[in-house]
Amino acid sequence: MSSIFQDKKKLRQQILKKRKALSPEWLNENSGLIHSNLKSLAALKKTKIIHTYVDWQNEVKTQSLISELLETGKRIVVPMVDKSTQQLQHFEIKSLSELKPGAFGIMEPKKNLKTSVGIEALEVIIVPGVAFDLSGHRLGYGGGYYDAFLKQTLALKIAIGFEFQIVEKIPTRAEDEKIDILVTEKQIYDF
Ligand SMILES: Nc1ncnc2c1ncn2[C@@H]1O[C@H](COP(=O)(O)OP(=O)(O)OP(=O)(O)O)[C@@H](O)[C@H]1O
Ligand SMILES: [Mg+2]
């Protein structure tokens, strides 16, 4: 195994350990601050269609954000992990009630409610991550799902994360896709 993968694995473990220890109160409060910062972005106000992950484990929460954005008339698209093709598929949802636990326990659209959306329709993508650095690099869970997805689009890539997920330098390879903006509970970093 190359040392890049080993370095990534080590970093992933370190940050995920910290994330696992967060209390529900801390998570809710700080996710709320991130939502406020996110909603202040001109790009988010302007766009009519937003792709976002649905939070899993102790990721920055997104479900209340999804409800709010739907109420303000935004169209929402969420990803679904397709293990057979090892790719993400993308579906529009009109309500959180259209979601149920799927692959890895991640919430995804129910079978009979799948409205597929082409990647070319996306304007803004809210990207999850395990760790980030201030050069716009991100570290995911190691599957390369988001790397493959982000490579296919010109949409604005906005990662959301907590300040403690920022590290000095993410070890990267050419395949790793960069993000345009990182929003934390404290700041908006525009790369
Ligand atoms: N130890 C490893 N040895 C060889 N290939 C690996 C190893 N770990 C990951 N890969 C492959 O490298 C690619 C990208 O991995 P990478 O670490 O960049 O994922 P990631 O950016 O953390 O994940 P994601 O993009 O899903 O958030 C994937 O195709 C993955 O299967
Ligand atoms: Mg990567």
> Phi and psi (nearest 5°) for 108?
-145, 165
Among protein residues, the one whose CA lies closest to atom 28 of ligand 1: 144
* 173 DSSP assignment: -
Contacts of 120 by beta carbon, 8 Å cutoff, 6+ apart: 153
> Is 100 part of any domain?
yes
3-state secondary structure 102-154: CHHHCEEECHHHCEECCHHHCCEEEECCCEECCCCCEECCCCCHHHHHHCCCC
In a domain, 175, yes or no: yes
Residue located nearest, by CA, to atom 31 of ligand 1: 143
- Would the pTM count as exceeding 0.85? yes
**CA atoms within a 13 Å half-sphere pointing along the CA-CB vector of 173:** 12
**Beta carbon of 144 within 6 Å of any ligand 1 atom:** yes
On whether residue 110 sits in a domain, the answer given is yes
Query: Which CATH number is 92's domain given?
Result: 3.40.50.10420
Comparing CA positions, the residue from 71, 117, 111 lying closest to residue 94 is: 71
What tens-digit pLDDT sequence spans the chain (191 residues)? 679 999 999 999 999 999 999 999 999 999 999 999 999 999 999 999 999 999 999 999 999 999 999 999 999 999 999 989 999 999 999 999 999 999 889 999 998 777 899 999 999 999 999 999 999 999 999 999 999 999 999 999 999 999 999 999 999 999 999 999 999 999 999 99
In angstroms, what is the span from residue 78 Cα to ligand 1's centroid?
21
Q: Whose CA is nearest to atom 7 of ligand 1?
A: 5
Q: Examine residue 98 and state whether it is found in any structural domain, yes or no.
A: yes
Q: Looking at residue 114, what is its pLDDT?
A: 78
The verdict on residue 191 lying in a domain is no
Element (H, E) at 16: helix 3-20
What is the C-alpha separation between 182 and 135, in angstroms, rounded?
A: 10
Q: How far apart are CA 146 and CA 17, in angstroms?
A: 22
Task: Residue 157: give the domain boundaries.
Answer: 3-186
The count of structural domains within the chain is: 1
Q: Please indicate, yes or no, if residue 40 is contained in any of the structural domains.
A: yes
**Domain contains 75:** yes
Atom of ligand 1 nearest to the CA of 129: 27
CA–CA distance, 105 with 98 (Å, rounded to integer): 15
> Closest-lying ligand to the alpha carbon of 130?
1
Q: Given ligand 1 and candidates 15, 175, 179, which is best to mutate, with the most ligand atoms within 8 Å of its CB?
A: 175
Those residues with Cβ within 8 angstroms of residue 18's Cβ, 6 or more apart along the chain or in another chain: 164
Output the pLDDT for position 1.
60
Q: Which long-range contacts (CB under 8 A, 24 or more apart) does 4-10 make?
A: 4/171, 4/172, 4/173, 7/171, 8/139, 8/142, 8/170, 8/171, 9/142
Nearest ligand to the CA atom of 145:
1
